[in-house]
Amino acid sequence: MKLAIMQPYFMPYLGYFQLINAVDEFILYDKVAYIKKGWVNRNRIGIVNESDELIVVPVINSSSNILIQDIRIDNTQKWVSKILNLIYFNYKKSVYFEEIYSLIQKLLNVRYEYIRELNAATILEIANFLEINTKIISDTSKYIDLESHLNNGTYGIFFIDEVVPERKNARIIEICRNENALTYINPIGGTALYDKKIFSLYGINLEFVKMCDLKYSYFTKEFIHSLSIIDVLMHNGKEGTKDLLNKYTLE
């Protein structure tokens, strides 16, 4: 079984969905610290004749000392209408606007209290829309004990009679073993964090997904890489985006 684990991001870029498509099981892991100015509550869309702009879900308790699972959305602000207006005015001339705008409206016009709930729901719905068959898991409550031992530095109990890995590897290795995954796939940026030789000691094959150098018909002079999946869908539609899901290599 092939497994991937990622934080639940807000309307993530195409590579995130390529990773989901590349595995059998995908875990939305929210038991790690929230990072300010990361991608948990914001992303980028294209702006007509300009560059890109952030779309942001305002949160109440944004601190690096708080886990993603505990980050609340600030629903006192009119963030849904602001985001939808930005999308409308910048993509209304896109070929697939009618098809995609109605989908985004449906996704955002649901009230959620926590950012993890919003992100999990939208990621799952978009994956379903793109007919990705991967099992997506958002309930990570069974890993509370693991996180407690990682935080206390006592995670060695999970590796009795084995070489205890570094903390950064221990979480992934233990989750892989718990999920009976023989292969773990990570975005290509993880080559600086994870070592294939270390994972092989625990019977896990480590691979990295690398997006091909993709460009598609766009409305600015210069193509902008790694924008939100919203941008990809607006310019490629459902079928075109499904084709792009397989434009990657495993290294």
Mean of per-residue pLDDT scores for the chain? 94
Q: Tell me what the mean pLDDT of segment 126-153 comes to.
A: 96
Confidence of residue 221 (pLDDT cuts 50, 70, 90): low
Note whether 167 and 155 are within 8 A (CB). Answer: yes
Residue range 231-241: average pLDDT? 96
- Rounded Cα–Cα distance for residues 128 and 131 (Å): 5
Find residue 208's DSSP bridge partners. Answer: 186
pTM beyond 0.85: the answer is: yes
Six-digit token string for 139: 């309930």
pLDDT of residue 134: 98
Query: 85-134 pLDDT, tens per residue?
Result: 999 999 999 999 999 999 999 999 999 999 999 999 999 999 999 999 99
The Cα 86–Cα 144 span in angstroms is: 38
Query: Is residue 215 over pLDDT 90?
Result: no
Q: Give the whole-angstrom CA distance, residue 143 versus residue 69.
A: 13
CA–CA separation, 94 and 100 (whole Å) = 10
| Res. 63: pLDDT tops 80 | no
Mean predicted confidence (pLDDT) in 141-153? 95
Quick one: average pLDDT of 167-177?
95
Residues in the chain: 251
pLDDT digits (tens, 9 = 90+) for 1-47: 999 999 999 999 999 999 999 999 999 999 999 998 899 999 999 88
Closest CA to 26 of 235, 192, 166, 186: 186
Helix (H) or strand (E) holding 122: helix 115-129
